[in-house]
Structures are given as C-alpha cells and as structure tokens.
A and B are shown apart, each in its own frame.
Chain A
Amino acid sequence: QLLEQSPQFLSIQEGENLTVYCNSSSVFSSLQWYRQEPGEGPVLLIALYKAGELTSNGRLTAQFGITRKDSFLNISASIPSDVGIYFCAGRPETSGSRLTFGEGTQLTVNP
C-alpha cells in the first residue's frame, strides 16, 4: 500500500507551473492532497473520490487516475506562499478508514 511521490524536492521560480505525481500498486477508494508547513499539521487541498475525477481549487488542479492507483497535483502561476511540503494520501480499498501518505514533495518558490 506504499504511495510513491515524485519529485521529492522541487525548486522553481515564482510564476512557474509545477506538477507533483503520486502512484501506487494498490487501489484507493479516495485520494487527497495536503500541504504542510513547518510546525503545523497537514491541510487538505483537494479530495478525489471517483476514477478519472478532475478537480480544481483556485490555482490547484488534481486528477485521480482511471485505475485509482495514481494521481497528480498541478499548481499554476506559483507564488512564494505556496512553499511547503505536499503530500498525497490515499484511503486503501482494503484498509477501512485510515490514510496512507506518500513521502512528500518539498516545494521552494524563489521570488
């Protein structure tokens, strides 16, 4: 039920777009993207529930793969306050209510 996330680190210029990927060999009933800042808990950005679902939240867009084993998160026109660690987290089909988190992508946005 491991969720592999890439890239692990991402450093971009303000205004650039970026994409973070998440994939697994396991099927998830839902998949969520979180952002975590230092000293804080993860904050939910986008939640995906259906295969192929494409959802936007402002400058953020995420899609749940057709097989429900993968997802991507795209951030457009990045700004310095986008910095943080981005996690994908899936609810495995066979494991009830728990979330399985990826390893995280640490984002730096240079002004």
Chain B
Amino acid sequence: GAGVSQSPRYKVAKRGQDVALRCDPISGHVSLFWYQQALGQGPEFLTYFQNEAQLDKSGLPSDRFFAERPEGSVSTLKIQRTQKEDSAVYLCASRTQGIGFFGPGTRLTVL
C-alpha cells in the first residue's frame, strides 16, 4: 500500500477484555515499531521488530502486552485483560533508511 495502515481505527473494550490491534507496514520495510500515545503526550516506545525478530520489547508496560510479526510483514499488538490505564492511541511505524513512517493509529478506550 501507499502508507502504513492500522485497524481498527477505534476500539472500545470493557475492562478485562482482550484486544488485538493490527498494523500493515509499507511493503518491503524491514523495521517495525509500536508506540503508545496517551492524550496530550508524545508517543512512547513499546517494541521493535526487524523482520520477524522482536529485537526490543523493553517498552511493553506489562506482561499483558504482547506483539508479534510472524512473517515479517503484518504485526499484531495484543493486550490481555485490558485496564483503564491502557486507554491510548497505539501507533505503528515502519522504517526504511532511517526514516520512519507512522500509521494513523488505533484509539483504544477501555471502559
């Protein structure tokens, strides 16, 4: 595609539900990142993939957060047993030659 796409764009979950957020990076981009952006804040790093290898997951806030990229293209960020504090915009970015391209994000609201 022309850019990074994310789905769904909006997700409302009840506390305790599991959610899965999808990222389709730009074709051919080896590097893929997930960021979490709270309201009124800058994005914060969650995790990084190079192809299918998850090279850095130090930003994941708890073991309820899990990300995968099994075939080195599409990535899924899964949040188990969602909590209210998980409410945020989740941004995916793919990168080539040092330049990152962000998707529009998924706005997650946990009630």
Chain A positions within 8 Å of B, measured between CB atoms, are: 3, 30, 32, 34, 39-44, 47, 49, 87, 89, 96-104
Contact = CB atoms under 8 A, between A and B. Distances in A.
B98 A99 contact: no
24 contacts: A3-B42, A30-B98, A32-B100, A39-B104, A40-B104, A40-B105, A41-B4, A41-B93, A41-B104, A47-B98, A89-B43, A96-B48, A97-B31, A97-B48, A97-B56, A97-B95, A98-B48, A98-B59, A99-B33, A99-B43, A100-B45, A101-B43, A102-B42, A103-B42
Q: Is the interface of B mostly helix, strand, loop or mixed?
A: strand
Contact of A42 (B59, B98, B102): B102
The contact size tier of chain B is 20 to 34
Interface of B: 4, 31, 33, 35, 40-45, 48, 55-56, 59, 91, 93, 95, 98-105
Q: Is the interface of A mostly helix, strand, loop or mixed?
A: loop
Given A30-B98, A98-B33, A102-B42, A41 B55 contact: no
A101 B105 CA distance: 16
B42 A104 contact: yes
- For the complex of A and B, 7 pairs with smallest distance between CB atoms: A41-B102, A101-B42, A98-B45, A42-B102, A101-B43, A41-B103, A41-B104
